[in-house]
A and B are shown apart, each in its own frame.
Chain A
Amino acid sequence: NAGVTQTPKFRILKIGQSMTLQCTQDMNHNYMYWYRQDPGMGLKLIYYSVGAGITDKGEVPNGYNVSRSTTEDFPLRLELAAPSQTSVYFCASSYSGQVSNQPQHFGDGTRLSIL
Chain B
Amino acid sequence: DQQVKQNSPSLSVQEGRISILNCDYTNSMFDYFLWYKKYPAEGPTFLISISSIKDKNEDGRFTVFLNKSAKHLSLHIVPSQPGDSAVYFCAACQGKTGGGADGLTFGKGTHLIIQP
Give A residues with C-beta under 8 Å from B. 4, 31, 33, 40-45, 48, 50, 56-59, 90, 92, 94, 96-100, 103-109
Contact = CB atoms under 8 A, between A and B. Distances in A.
A58 B107 CA distance: 17
Interface in B84-103: 89, 91, 93, 96-101, 103
Given A100-B51, A109-B43, A43 B106 contact: yes
Interface string B42-59: 111110010100000000
B97 A108 contact: no
A58 B98 contact: no
Interface residues of B, number: 29
A28 B112 CA distance: 33
A42 B32 contact: no
Interface of B: 4, 9, 32, 34, 36, 41-46, 49, 51, 89, 91, 93, 96-101, 103-109
A33 B103 contact: yes
Given A42-B106, A56-B101, A100 B49 contact: yes
Contacts of A59: 101, 103
